[in-house]
Amino acid sequence: FSSPNAPNAPDFTALALRLRELDDAYYRDASPLATDAEYDLLRAEYDRLCDEQAIPESARYTRGVGDDHVQGFETVVHAQRMLSLEKAATRPEFLPGTGVDEGSEFVESEPGWENGTAWGRMKAWADRLVEVVGGSGQDLSLVVEPKIDGMSVSLVYEGGQLVRAVTRGDGTRGDVVTAQILASGAAPSKVPETSRFEVRGELYLPREAFENLNRNLSEASEKTLANPRNACAGLMKRKDASSLAKTGIRSFLYFVPNGQHAMPLPASQRSRLDWLVAQGFSVHPDVASVRGIAAAYDACRQFLDKRDTLDHEIDGMVVKLDDTSIHDELGNTEHHPRWGIAYKFPPERRPTRLLGISIQVGRTGSLTPVAELEPVQLAGTTVSRASLHNRSHLEKIGVRVGDTVLVQKAGDIIPQVVAVVPAKRPTESVPFEFPEVCPVCGSLLEDRGKGKDKRTKLPVQLIACSNTDNCPPQVVGRLEHFASRRALDLEGLGSIVAEALVENGIVRDVLDLFDLPINTLSALNLGTEDAPRIFGEKNATKLIEAITRARTAPLSKWLHALAIQDVGDAIAIKLASTHATVEALAKSASLAALDESGNLIEEDEQLGNQKAKKERSPEQQQIVDARRAVIKARIAELNPILRTAGIEEIGPIVARSVRTFFNSHRGHEILARLAALGIEPRGESRVIDGPLSGKTVVVTGSLAGYTRDSIKAALEGAGAKVTDSVSKKTDLLVAGEAAGSKLEKANALGIRVVDEAGLSRILEGTDSV
Ligand code: IVH
């Protein structure tokens, strides 16, 4: 339920990566990793975060319109781009059972309902329409159609014949599947209309045809398909079209793009559907015409009950402005036309009994209550465990062992308990008592903050074991992370080995690995006492070799491996390109400056707050102004350090985390241990390419233009290694006023000495060392 990477990786990026992974699985590999409802929730969360953080469109991960292209198919450009639809979905916290019923009028009293609920989104959509078409949202003539969960297709007819069928592809260019359509009989090959026109719709595989197909596949010992939509997509991409004849693929057509018909057509969606029927196309029988957005929403909701009675899958409803003559005027966004919106059904939920609650301690120390459930079928899998998130969720839904609960899959593949069914509570049940101490190591628990993660706004685990240094699951987590490919790449040290090493008390912290006797390692039991599984000599030798190699791994890998809060691999690379050693990082003047300036800026912002200002007396304000002047002066002093240090891309949060780490007991221990082990990870060759690259410099005396910190940062920023004492290895001594013994020693050793002006020339590049 938790990964050791979690505290480091910004959840925001993780979300984008997860979306990409799901998109690839879905579009490219035709084998989805998540249900649509799950995907949509993730997508919505990602969009919300982007909005919140004002991420520009160009920087967002987009793959709304997936690419269904398959190698070997001829591609053509669509006359009009095939777009997707804006989605109206209700976020999990607004779903039935969690306080607000999606369909109830109470929704509007809940804060955030405008963005968080399907109704809010649909209302906003209607309001935007009204701005263009006039009138009120309750007057709009709308058409409500089932949203078929299939594969979109564009068909072009000319002279009464189907001349071209094309998949959506990437929206701009799709694969030609005319032969497949003709062979499958999914759409008419001939129509009465002889003028050229294009019609768009959805190809789908009825449930029964899907089950038959899967039965045949499993009888032939072949991999079965995840759902009808993917099955349909897979079939359409068969190159031998003749095999499609009996597969049962069908279509519903729903759209004639404006401008893509050589003959006149009526100017309403409803009458165009009627025209399509007259041409022999299949049009969904459950299309409704309604007046007003509230009625459209009701029609969508009502269809939830009908959904399971259909012989094909739908994943929502589509609401369209009936008057097609306004469609062009409304225009499109980058991804979707403004004339329509897709209502997405909420994810499937099932009731089941809660048999017990176990508390898991994650790799980050977070306590996650886990529901042990009576097995229940949910969106295609059997579920017997589900997340209860954290203590506050548990308390919010007030769940007790023995309760009947609602289970849902959302966000990730992990199912979760979203609500209790109060009517089914057994009379003898008692409230669940959350543990007072860590169930693994018995240490005190700590509250890691309330509500949402400060930066990502995602909910965080609130309660965690305070024994970060020694709590076994946390040590295992660090060990796994330490050994992971992107860290020190200790192949052979996966979660099972890590657990065995920690459980047997062989490893208490990551650096213990470097003292590990090979015999201990080869005798390690990965199984149980009754069924032992010994690691063995061969594996042990290999792992020891990897550990030995890690001794000389570059600094960036080491920094990533140490699992410092907020230091993921990208930040580790940046830190390693501006600091030559772990020691240098631990004492970094530039990070100290960053940290300090971050604090000052924060303080200044608070002091500058207009509301607070109004509440101050003139005397109080005077004190505040004085403080702000001091802050301003100090920031001005720090600025040159921040500019010269090559740390532009590192923020104060990282700076603070790095400093906290190295100032902690464990940080000190790690530094001492590394030194004792003779491990000296080096910064990459990326070390600043400056006028002092590779030079060792010592500073002595006082300089007019620099503080002690800023001179160090300036020298480091120019690529120098700054040390404290003069030796034969010293390349340059910068001597200010009242220089003493260091200057004497430098002179004695014949080391070059410069004053402040001389240093300026070197830094400017008009002189060199
Ligand atoms: S109208 C701009 N009507 O849902 C696209 N689409 O997310 C106009 N879909 O790409 C589409 N049933 O593949 C429309 N009754 C329906 C639909 C429908 C399914 C699909 C279509 C579209 C996607 C939008």
Q: What is the pLDDT of residues 331-358, one digit of tens each?
A: 998 889 999 999 998 877 888 999 999 9
Cα radius of gyration (the chain): 33
Count of CB atoms situated within 10 Å of the CB of 678: 8
Q: Alpha carbon of 214 to those of 35, 69, 191, 248: distances in Å? A: 18, 24, 33, 13
Which H, E and C letters describe 172-206, residue by residue? CEEEECHHHHHHHCCCCCECCCCCCEEEEEEEECC
Q: Whose CA is nearest to atom 10 of ligand 1?
A: 84
- Asked whether the predicted pLDDT for residue 294 surpasses 60, the reply is yes
Count of CB atoms situated within 10 Å of the CB of 556: 24
Check pocket membership of 86 for ligand 1, CB cut-off 6 A.
no
Which single residue is written with the structure tokens 């007003």?
292
C-alpha to C-alpha distance for 284 and 162, rounded to whole angstroms: 21
| Terminal Cα-to-Cα distance of the chain (whole angstroms) | 55
Count of CB atoms situated within 10 Å of the CB of 143: 23
Q: What is the pLDDT of residue 595?
A: 93
pLDDT grade for 458, boundaries at 50, 70 and 90: very low
Q: Whose CA is nearest to atom 6 of ligand 1?
A: 147
> Cβ contacts of residue 373 below 8 Å, gap of 6+?
352, 353, 354, 355, 383, 384, 385, 386, 405, 407, 417
Check pocket membership of 203 for ligand 1, CB cut-off 6 A.
no
* DSSP H or E segment with residue 109: none
Q: What is the pLDDT of residue 507?
A: 95
Both tokens assigned to 190: 């001939």
C-alpha to C-alpha distance for 752 and 748, rounded to whole angstroms: 11
Both tokens assigned to 344: 């997405």
752 vs 447: which has the higher pLDDT = 752
The Å distance, Cα 49 to ligand 1 centre, comes to 26
C-alpha to C-alpha distance for 473 and 446, rounded to whole angstroms: 16
- The bridge status of strand 752-754 relative to strand 732-735 is parallel
Q: For residue 377, with 0-12 CB atoms within 10 Å meaning exposed, 13-18 middle and 19 or more buried, which class applies? A: exposed
Q: Hey, which of 255, 281, 319 would you mutate to test ligand 1's pocket, going by the most ligand atoms within 8 Å of its Cβ?
A: 255
pLDDT tens digits, 663-707: 999 999 999 999 999 999 987 645 566 788 878 999 999 888 888
C-alpha to C-alpha distance for 452 and 458, rounded to whole angstroms: 5
- Asked whether the predicted pLDDT for residue 448 surpasses 70, the reply is yes
C-alpha to C-alpha distance for 471 and 226, rounded to whole angstroms: 40
Q: Hey, which of 85, 144, 153 would you mutate to test ligand 1's pocket, going by the most ligand atoms within 8 Å of its Cβ?
A: 85
Check pocket membership of 342 for ligand 1, CB cut-off 6 A.
yes
- DSSP per residue over 562-599, as a string? TT-TT--HHHHHHHHHH-SSHHHHHT-HHHHHHHHHHH
- The residues facing 752 across adjacent strands are 732
> Cβ contacts of residue 631 below 8 Å, gap of 6+?
600, 603, 604, 607
| H helix runs in 518-664, sequence order | 518-522, 537-550, 555-561, 569-578, 582-586, 589-608, 610-614, 618-644, 652-663
Q: What is the pLDDT of residue 101?
A: 63
Handedness of CA 458, 459, 465, 466 (dihedral sign): positive
For ligand 1, what atom is nearest to the CA of residue 152? Answer: 13
Taking residues 652-663, what's their average pLDDT? 93
C-alpha to C-alpha distance for 361 and 745, rounded to whole angstroms: 57
Q: For residue 9, with 0-12 CB atoms within 10 Å meaning exposed, 13-18 middle and 19 or more buried, which class applies? A: middle
Which segments of 379-499 are extended strands (E)?
A: 381-387, 404-409, 415-420, 445-447, 463-465
Taking residues 312-325, what's their average pLDDT? 95
pLDDT tens digits, 482-517: 998 889 999 889 888 999 999 999 999 999 999 999
Which H, E and C letters describe 258-324, residue by residue? CCCECCCCCCEHHHHHHHHHHCCCCCCCCCEEEECHHHHHHHHHHHHHHHCCCCCCEEEEEEEECEH
* DSSP H or E segment with residue 356: strand 349-361
* DSSP H or E segment with residue 372: strand 367-378
C-alpha to C-alpha distance for 459 and 441, rounded to whole angstroms: 25
Check pocket membership of 255 for ligand 1, CB cut-off 6 A.
yes
C-alpha to C-alpha distance for 322 and 267, rounded to whole angstroms: 8
Q: Is the pTM of this model over 0.85?
A: no
CA within 13 Å, CB half, 414: 13
Q: What is the pLDDT of residue 459?
A: 53
Q: Alpha carbon of 361 to those of 245, 522, 526: distances in Å? A: 55, 28, 20
The Å distance, Cα 89 to ligand 1 centre, comes to 15
C-alpha to C-alpha distance for 488 and 552, rounded to whole angstroms: 10
Kindly report the average pLDDT of the chain as a whole number.
86
pLDDT tens digits, 517-564: 999 999 999 988 888 889 999 999 999 999 999 999 999 999 999 989
Ramachandran bin of 450, using left for φ above 0, alpha for ψ from -120 to 50, beta for the remaining angles: beta
Q: What is the pLDDT of residue 8?
A: 31
Q: What is the pLDDT of residue 335?
A: 85
- Residue 147: active-site member: yes
From the list 87, 147, 237, 557, the catalytic residue is: 147
Q: Hey, which of 149, 152, 319 would you mutate to test ligand 1's pocket, going by the most ligand atoms within 8 Å of its Cβ?
A: 152
The type of residue at 16 is A
For ligand 1, what atom is nearest to the CA of residue 149? Answer: 19
Check pocket membership of 147 for ligand 1, CB cut-off 6 A.
yes
Instruction: Mark 380-389 as b/e (b = at least 16 C-beta within 10 Å).
Output: eeebebbbbb
Contact in structure between 189 and 241 (CB atoms under 8 Å):
no
For 493, the 3-state DSSP assignment is coil
Check pocket membership of 315 for ligand 1, CB cut-off 6 A.
no
Both tokens assigned to 652: 């104060």
Q: What is the pLDDT of residue 286?
A: 97
Q: What is the pLDDT of residue 201?
A: 98
**Dihedral, 400, 401, 407, 410 alpha carbons, nearest 10:** 70
Check pocket membership of 202 for ligand 1, CB cut-off 6 A.
yes
The type of residue at 275 is W
The Å distance, Cα 341 to ligand 1 centre, comes to 9
pLDDT tens digits, 383-400: 899 988 888 788 888 999
Q: What is the pLDDT of residue 449?
A: 67
C-alpha to C-alpha distance for 278 and 320, rounded to whole angstroms: 21
- Asked whether the predicted pLDDT for residue 607 surpasses 80, the reply is yes
> Cβ contacts of residue 474 below 8 Å, gap of 6+?
361, 363, 364, 365, 465, 467, 468
pLDDT tens digits, 552-596: 999 999 999 998 988 888 889 889 988 888 998 999 888 999 999
Taking residues 57-78, what's their average pLDDT? 73
For 513, the 3-state DSSP assignment is helix
Check pocket membership of 352 for ligand 1, CB cut-off 6 A.
no
Q: Alpha carbon of 586 to those of 564, 660, 671: distances in Å? A: 12, 10, 9
pLDDT tens digits, 122-137: 999 999 999 998 888 8
Check pocket membership of 232 for ligand 1, CB cut-off 6 A.
no
208 vs 415: which has the higher pLDDT = 208
For 359, the 3-state DSSP assignment is strand
Taking residues 756-767, what's their average pLDDT? 87
> Cβ contacts of residue 636 below 8 Å, gap of 6+?
none
Check pocket membership of 415 for ligand 1, CB cut-off 6 A.
no
Q: Hey, which of 199, 202, 286, 341 would you mutate to test ligand 1's pocket, going by the most ligand atoms within 8 Å of its Cβ?
A: 202
609 vs 239: which has the higher pLDDT = 609
- The bridge status of strand 86-88 relative to strand 340-344 is parallel
DSSP 3-state helix, strand, coil percentages of the chain (rounded to 5)? Answer: 40, 20, 40
pLDDT grade for 70, boundaries at 50, 70 and 90: confident
- Asked whether the predicted pLDDT for residue 58 surpasses 70, the reply is no
Check pocket membership of 88 for ligand 1, CB cut-off 6 A.
no
Which segments of 103-187 are extended strands (E)?
A: 141-148, 151-158, 161-167, 173-175
pLDDT grade for 10, boundaries at 50, 70 and 90: very low
Which H, E and C letters describe 67-96, residue by residue? CCCCCCCCEEECCCCCCCCEEECCCHHHCC
C-alpha to C-alpha distance for 437 and 102, rounded to whole angstroms: 38
- The residues facing 723 across adjacent strands are 698
Q: For residue 725, with 0-12 CB atoms within 10 Å meaning exposed, 13-18 middle and 19 or more buried, which class applies? A: exposed
Most confident of 13-22, 379-388, 651-660: 651-660
The Å distance, Cα 411 to ligand 1 centre, comes to 23
The Å distance, Cα 40 to ligand 1 centre, comes to 15
